[in-house]
Amino acid sequence: MIIKIKKEMVSKVIIINDDKILLLKRAKKLVTKDSPWTWDLPGGHIDKGEQPEQAAIRETDEETKIKISSLSYTGHDSNIGKKTHFYVTDDWRGDVKLSHEHEAYKWVKEADLVKYRENIGSMYYEMTIRALKTRK
We report the CATH number of the domain holding residue 15 as 3.90.79.10
* Residue 12 CA from chain centroid, whole number: 3
* Domain presence at residue 122: yes
- Coil vs helix vs strand at 66: coil
Task: Tell me the percentage of the chain whose pLDDT exceeds 90.
Answer: 72
Among residues 102, 89, 82, 70, the alpha carbon closest in space to that of 135 is found at 89
* Domain presence at residue 82: yes
* Domain presence at residue 2: no
Residues 6+ apart with CB under 8 A from 105: 22, 23, 24, 25, 64, 96, 98
* Domain presence at residue 77: yes
Length in residues, the chain: 136
How many distinct structural domains can be found in the chain? 1
Summarize pLDDT for 4-60 with one digit per residue, the tens: 444 688 999 999 998 899 999 999 998 888 788 899 999 999 999 999 999 999 999
In which domain, by residue range, is 121 found? 8-135
